Amino acid sequence: MAKTDSRRGKFITFEGPEGGGKTTQAKRLIQRLETAGHEVIYTREPGGTPTGEAIRNILQHDTTGEEISSAAEVLLFAASRAQLVAHVILPALDRGAWVVCDRFADSTTAYQGYGRGFDPEQMLAINGFAIDGATPDLTFLLDLDLDEGFRRLAIRHQEKASPLDRIEQEARSFHERVRQGYLDLARRYSDRFRVIDSMREEDTVHQDIWECVTRECGL
């Protein structure tokens, strides 16, 4: 299980609907923490380990060429997460490093629970098994209007000349349920969730995040 003594590092996750700027804000926070003298590990979900990256290619890009059942999708996310926790997250936290993760267990609850229609409580139980006590100290929910999120997403894919992935191609109603799921989780776990309005300028969002980390993580 994860250590809880004062030497344990801090674990911060970024969550939210598509186009909210999670990766950008995670990397900006890492740069700020490193400048302050902290060891910081960046990782992402699904992925973050060789096994996790292989699973990511299956989940996002249909590399097997086989339709993935909803139950298999949930368990693949959990398998990637368990590998990441065991090989990256817990070892880093135990040596006192900070870990910043681009999506984590809340994504499965939001996307597969609320989005796909699985029982969210069942998702929470599966997540609990996979994370082995590695609960985030802070979770930033970068919330934004769906129209704006998909406008940003279209620009990003156009710049990279890349197609939408399997999840991004889901119907708007799916993404509406995901967003509502995140907001429900933020209310349920208000001790660690901080909802950030990511409709604003990137610098403003970053400053809100930094002030929150400074205040709540004892920097």
Q: What is the CATH number of the domain that holds 94?
A: 3.40.50.300
- Asked if residue 3 is part of any domain, the answer here is no
User: What percentage of the chain reaches a pLDDT higher than 70?
Assistant: 97
- Asked if residue 1 is part of any domain, the answer here is no
Instruction: At 96, list the tokens.
Output: 């006192």
Which residue range forms the structural domain that includes residue 38? 11-216
Q: What is the pTM of this model?
A: 0.91
- Asked if residue 2 is part of any domain, the answer here is no
- Asked if residue 98 is part of any domain, the answer here is yes
- Asked if residue 5 is part of any domain, the answer here is no
- Asked if residue 4 is part of any domain, the answer here is no
Distance, CA of 11 to chain centre: 12
1 — pLDDT class (breaks 50, 70, 90): very low
Instruction: At 202, list the tokens.
Output: 């990137």
Q: How many domains does the chain have?
A: 1
Has residue 147 got a pLDDT over 70?
yes
- Asked if residue 86 is part of any domain, the answer here is yes
List, for residues 171-205, the tens digit of each pLDDT value.
999 999 999 999 999 999 999 999 999 999 999 99
- Asked if residue 137 is part of any domain, the answer here is yes
Partner residues linked to 29 by β-bridges:
none
Interval 108-135 mean pLDDT: 93
Return d(Cα 175, Cα 188) in angstroms, integer.
20
Determine whether 180 is exposed, middle or buried from the number of CB atoms within 10 Å of its CB (0-12, 13-18, 19+): middle
